[in-house]
Structure 1
Amino acid sequence: METQDIILEDNQLICILTENIKKATSQEKNIQSIIRMLNEEYGFEMADMARDFNIVYVEPDTGKNKKQKLEVVVFEKGTDHVQENIIRIAVVQDEKIKENDKKKGVTLTLENALGAVENCEFGLWTNGQDIKYLQREYDVFDNENFIDLADFPGEGETIEDMDRADRSHARKPANDSLIKVFKRSHDYIYGNEGRKKDAFWQLLYLIFCKLYDEKRRFLAYESGESYRRKFWVGVKEQNTDEGRKQVAERIKSIFEELKQSGTFSDVFDGNEAIDLTDKGVAFIAGELAKYNFLDATVDVKGMAYETIVSNTLKQEAGQFFTPRNIVKAMVEMLDPSENTRVLDPACGSGGFLVMVLDHVRKKIAKDLYPELDGVLLADKFNTYEVNERVREYAETNIFGFDFDPDLKKAARMNMVMAGDGHANIFHVNSLAYPQWEHPEEIAKIKSAIDTSVERMQDIIENYTSDARGKFDMIFTNPPFGAKVKVDAEIAEKYFLSKYSDAPEVLFIETCYKLLKPGGKMAIVLPDGILGNPNTLPVREWILENFKILASVDLAVEAFLPQVGVQASLLFLEKKTDLQRNIANEGSEDYDVFMAIAEKLGKDRRGNPIYVRDEDGAEILFPTTTEYVVKDKEENAIVKARTEKLRKLDDDLPMIVEAYYEFLK
């Protein structure tokens, strides 16, 4: 990639449409988001858009010409950029402006603009969080009315197309759209439905309904039937009590159906209910129905999901996510495949497991479509054939244990969003396993392990129905810190408890027991284990029982702003008996990959940091961004735009590449 000499100061950005430098205000960031959305999600070409466009209209009271500046407009395809060719209007405000604001709200800006631009029927108003779509209509007396819509049509689409029951595709979310939808929905339930305690779960139930409905297209494919979506909201259905009632009945019937379904039944107890008002259900369903969740990338879904999970479950439990770039690097370095049985014994909401599933999904897609690459290959990640193999892989080979029953539920949900509903996620204390005061959960683990081994036919000798000694890979970030105490009765069963009863130390021994000989693990550990004099016996035990593959020191920013802890990533391979014998004879000799990640793409406050030149100015990289849009007939059309992008200052991708080179 070439770089170009454009110097950006800290509070600046470059416009994706005009390539002009702009001040990075809240409004400007919202404008960039809307331009991306109109381009990638709605299929409008960059060449047919303009920003800061002045329209002229006659003020009825005075008869004088007045001007209004519109943040973003879309013109009829391939036509001149003049007022009469505008077909979409986007009024974009600062996040502080509310939709009922007297000067900058919907009425005085969007309604006024739609009334002034004769050929434009549709527009949107947004402050970055809230978004409102309007259609201008005329009644039988030729009076102008502005009708609320759930969404407006994309390129080449009509409003009738949007209400077709057989319209199987929704939009693929671009940029931060899904994060905004989840947050908007969560805030709505929290603020308007009086459900502060269970807003998260109520939203989750509706997300489940959406996913279940999307997965029905695979069932239809199997039976040869044509797919008719049930989770949809007519563009004007939210505008009447009758319409909202129909939406609520439709969505609630999906929820009752999915609780009985094989895919989802093991996630629910059966007594859960969607307890929102009809208006609430219709609003949230309208937000979620715009997007296709299965087709969204794991990064997009994962970030959106983590945004709401981290605001509720995690902080209540005093737990924090492993940042996605760290999870990705750990998974890429060990490189699991379709034949790899994987466990996270402290899985939380399932971040590692979802990343493994995504990594393997890409391999399966490449295997099935070797002639494709780039965005056309990515467009195949959710075909029926890929999904079947991914589902089978997850059912057979992906396992997660967690001590928190709520997180078990959240992890299952995360796995469903990643494309599988049968993940083997269990509520169990990994340090106590195989003893645990929930014998029914231990029995489920036994059954899942038996099924997995039977399918993979990989462990025959001295077989026991037990998770120990069954895993090819473990990825984990175990709980650590002074606040986390391990029950003395549990701790004393561990050899390493002679030196330390810290949970992170005992987890190393647990992982050892769970791995096959030759199995590999990637674990996040506080640096104290690797450096303190009093943990020397622990290090000696590690060296005796594992081959060290790699060690990556993380910058202190790794887990900030949630928690300041100096940590490292340790990659280990459980020694076979032969390797242990060689080591005992004193002839052990091997190279270890070591790296230091000084930059992790964010500062101590969690704000992103970008690559800079010697003078401290952010560097811009000319980049061609390709994306796929679907036409009415579901054909994939590849489109591209050229833009100048900043690059996150993150050492981890380079460390992964260096590790691959080291292995060669």
Structure 2
Amino acid sequence: MKQPSLFGNTLDSPLKQFEDIHNYLYANDSLSEQQVLEEIVKILFIKFYDEQRERKSFYISDSESLKINSGKDQSSFLNRINQLFEETKQKYDTYFDSKDRLKLSIQSLAFVVKKLQVINFKNSKNDANGLAFQKFLGRHAKGGRGQFFTPDPIIDFCVEIIQPKPDEKIIDPACGTGGFLFSSLRYIRKNYKDIDIQNYVQNNIFGIEINTRISQIAKIKFLIECNADPNILCSNALIDIKELSLKYKQQANLTNLEGYFDVLLTNPPFGTQGKITNYELLSKYELGHKWNKHGKDYIRSNNVLKGQVPEILFIERCLQLLRPGGRLGIVLPNGHFENSSLEYLRRYIKDKANILGVVLLPQETFIPYGTGVKVSLLFLQKKNGEVINRKQVFFSKIIKTGYAGNKNGSPIYRKDKYGLVIVENGQKIIDEDFSEVVHDYNQF
């Protein structure tokens, strides 16, 4: 496994562009951190829409800049960008409301357009812009509603364990800003040199995200990275599977999501902010019912629970989405592996899937990303009727994540016996266990 990319230092130029924009808006427009990010995403969508057009409108001329700076007539620039945003909303109507407006002052809008007009995302020959935006998001995007963003080393580790193939359909039903999907794309690009990346993204990458603004970020990341449009659906992934399929049919011409996907990677929202109590929704799930113990087995009753934490419902939904033989990597709280009250859940999982591996993460893993919850990684393969003589399950434990367990998440580097940082090929080596665990898993 390659060293985690979270701490790479080769992104200064494009990253500086994004940081300059963020800092200017935050200082001059009285917007919150979240609002600044939302406005940046809007303008990036406008920029991408304009790059698809023959006649370009995303620019600011020198004369317009002078007028804006001197407080003179600003209508030509402002009208052009506002009209461009109206067209952008129609183009990406699943990500924008018709009432959405640009909230930036004319001076800030001019600053951002001037910064971005010299960049051509569509014809970019490398992924520096995508890497820069990914790192920029790591600094400024925050989770909520029980969500927290997954550290890149964890994401890359899961992808290396699952090893997606170019002909496989991949989905994350709680995709957030698209971390698992993005890493899967990079894995495919690295290991299958001749693949048509745009075709791969448009036909093999799928994600579901309940938050409109976060789904916008997921989409824009792929546009920046490879000028390709992934199948990101803004929806609650836990609604009835038929209703969810209908939504995807309208967006991506999929008729039935059940059993459609080969690979599923996800970090679902945890129940730290409360349980799901909607009776109609819970009644659709086996794990939304009470389970009674009979001998060594558990039998589902007809009694719907008063409430269930979302990540348990996500386990069932994930297994629904996978084809027989499909592979799953999921982040779960440690209590789901240990609590006696959840023995029915573990029995349910073993009845539906073969357990490939469990990897315990240190408590500080997610502290830089907003939570200190103890979690592990569970890797499964959905049963397909064949008898598998795999009696052993891979177990491992990550001790060194490569970054400090504090709010800054500063990188930790490997040192020699003299206490000097080890450098190979001009790069400082991150002190992490993920690479070794991937090797051990492949040898298991």
How does the TM-score come out when normalised to structure 2?
A: 0.80
Q: Structure 1: how far apart are the matches of 2:417 and 2:344?
A: 44
Shift of 1:512: 1.1
Runs of at least 5 residues in structure 2 that lack an aligned partner in the other structure: 1-7, 292-304
Question: Which residue of 313, 321, 325 maps to 2:149?
Answer: 321
Shift of 1:478: 1.0
Question: Which residue of 607, 612, 615 maps to 2:415?
Answer: 612
Q: Structure 2: how far apart are the matches of 1:421 and 1:260?
A: 18
Shift of 1:195: 4.2
Q: Structure 1: how far apart are the matches of 2:431 and 2:78?
A: 46
Which amino acid in 1 is paired with 2:270? F
Q: Structure 2: how far apart are the matches of 1:260 and 1:285?
A: 21
What SS does the corresponding residue of 2:422 show, helix, strand or coil?
strand
Shift of 1:205: 1.7
Q: Structure 2: how far apart are the matches of 1:568 and 1:495?
A: 23
1:440-589 equivalences under 5 Å are 443-447=246-250, 451=253, 465-489=255-279, 490-497=281-288, 498=290, 501-561=308-368, 562-579=370-387, 588-589=389-390
Contact persistence 1:446–1:467 (CA under 8 A): no
Task: Give the match for residue 298 of structure 2.
Answer: none
Which amino acid in 1 is paired with 2:85? F
Question: Which residue of 24, 30, 35 maps to 1:188?
Answer: 24
Shift of 1:521: 0.6
Shift of 1:401: 1.9
1:613-652 equivalences under 5 Å are 613-614=416-417, 617-623=419-425, 643=426, 645-652=427-434
| Counterparts in 2 of 1:596 and 1:272: CA distance versus 1, 3 Å | same
Contact persistence 2:41–2:216 (CA under 8 A): no
Question: Which residue of 262, 278, 281 maps to 2:106?
Answer: 278
Task: Give the match for residue 40 of structure 2.
Answer: 203
Contact persistence 1:183–1:308 (CA under 8 A): no
User: Does 2:122 align with 1:332?
Assistant: no
Contact persistence 1:179–1:305 (CA under 8 A): no
Which amino acid in 2 is paired with 1:542? I
Question: Which residue of 73, 79, 85 maps to 1:255?
Answer: 85
| Counterparts in 2 of 1:661 and 1:291: CA distance versus 1, 3 Å | farther
Which amino acid in 2 is paired with 1:211? F
Q: Structure 2: how far apart are the matches of 1:191 and 1:400?
A: 34
**For residues 568-613 of structure 1, what are the alpha-carbon distances to aligned partners after superposition, in whole Å with 9 as ceiling and x for unaligned?**
111100011233xx7xxxxx43443332211111112122211123
Shift of 1:253: 4.9
Q: Structure 1: how far apart are the matches of 2:424 and 2:63?
A: 42
Q: Structure 2: how far apart are the matches of 1:595 and 1:185?
A: 42
1:361-376 equivalences under 5 Å are 361-363=189-191, 366-367=193-194
Contact persistence 2:413–2:428 (CA under 8 A): yes
1:130-149 equivalences under 5 Å are none
Shift of 1:254: 4.1
Which amino acid in 2 is paired with 1:286? K
Shift of 1:267: 2.7
Contact persistence 2:270–2:311 (CA under 8 A): yes
Shift of 1:292: 4.9
Shift of 1:492: 4.2
In terms of fraction of residues, the more strand-rich structure is 1
Contact persistence 1:341–1:471 (CA under 8 A): yes
Identity across the alignment (%): 33
Shift of 1:563: 0.8
In terms of fraction of residues, the more helix-rich structure is 2
| Counterparts in 2 of 1:607 and 1:554: CA distance versus 1, 3 Å | same
How does the TM-score come out when normalised to structure 1?
A: 0.56
Q: Structure 1: how far apart are the matches of 2:194 and 2:35?
A: 42
Which amino acid in 2 is paired with 1:424? N
Q: Structure 2: how far apart are the matches of 1:493 and 1:231?
A: 48
What SS does the corresponding residue of 1:578 show, helix, strand or coil?
coil
User: Does 2:405 align with 1:405?
Assistant: no
Q: Structure 2: how far apart are the matches of 1:653 and 1:431?
A: 34
Q: Structure 2: how far apart are the matches of 1:322 and 1:576?
A: 30
Which amino acid in 2 is paired with 1:491? L
User: Does 2:222 align with 1:419?
Assistant: no
Shift of 1:201: 2.4
Contact persistence 1:247–1:281 (CA under 8 A): no
Which amino acid in 1 is paired with 2:194? D
What SS does the corresponding residue of 2:326 show, helix, strand or coil?
strand
| Counterparts in 2 of 1:612 and 1:291: CA distance versus 1, 3 Å | farther
Question: Which residue of 403, 413, 417 maps to 1:602?
Answer: 403
Q: Structure 2: how far apart are the matches of 1:494 and 1:204?
A: 36
| Counterparts in 2 of 1:193 and 1:477: CA distance versus 1, 3 Å | same
**For residues 284-307 of structure 1, what are the alpha-carbon distances to aligned partners after superposition, in whole Å with 9 as ceiling and x for unaligned?**
123334545453344322111343
CA-based RMSD: 3.2
What SS does the corresponding residue of 2:141 show, helix, strand or coil?
helix
Which amino acid in 1 is paired with 2:17? V
Contact persistence 2:333–2:375 (CA under 8 A): yes
Q: Which has the higher contact order (CA 8 A, sep 6+)?
A: 2
Kindly tell me the number of residue pairs found equivalent between the two proteins. 409
**For residues 307-363 of structure 1, what are the alpha-carbon distances to aligned partners after superposition, in whole Å with 9 as ceiling and x for unaligned?**
3332xxx24x45310111111111222122231111111112222122223333445
Contact persistence 2:416–2:422 (CA under 8 A): no
| Counterparts in 2 of 1:420 and 1:548: CA distance versus 1, 3 Å | farther
Task: Give the match for residue 592 of structure 1.
Answer: 393
Q: Structure 1: how far apart are the matches of 2:348 and 2:325?
A: 17
Contact persistence 2:170–2:204 (CA under 8 A): yes
What SS does the corresponding residue of 2:194 show, helix, strand or coil?
helix
Which amino acid in 2 is paired with 1:301? F
Contact persistence 1:469–1:515 (CA under 8 A): yes
Q: Structure 1: how far apart are the matches of 2:232 and 2:315?
A: 20
Which amino acid in 2 is paired with 1:419? C
Which amino acid in 2 is paired with 1:572? L
Q: Structure 1: how far apart are the matches of 2:166 and 2:51?
A: 24
Q: Structure 2: how far apart are the matches of 1:448 and 1:285?
A: 30
Task: Give the match for residue 296 of structure 1.
Answer: 127
Task: Give the match for residue 95 of structure 1.
Answer: none
What SS does the corresponding residue of 1:612 show, helix, strand or coil?
coil
Runs of at least 5 residues in structure 1 that lack an aligned partner in the other structure: 1-32, 37-173, 221-227, 369-388, 453-464, 583-587, 624-642
Q: Structure 1: how far apart are the matches of 2:81 and 2:249?
A: 36
Contact persistence 2:360–2:376 (CA under 8 A): yes
What SS does the corresponding residue of 1:347 show, helix, strand or coil?
coil
Shift of 1:234: 6.2
What SS does the corresponding residue of 2:317 show, helix, strand or coil?
helix
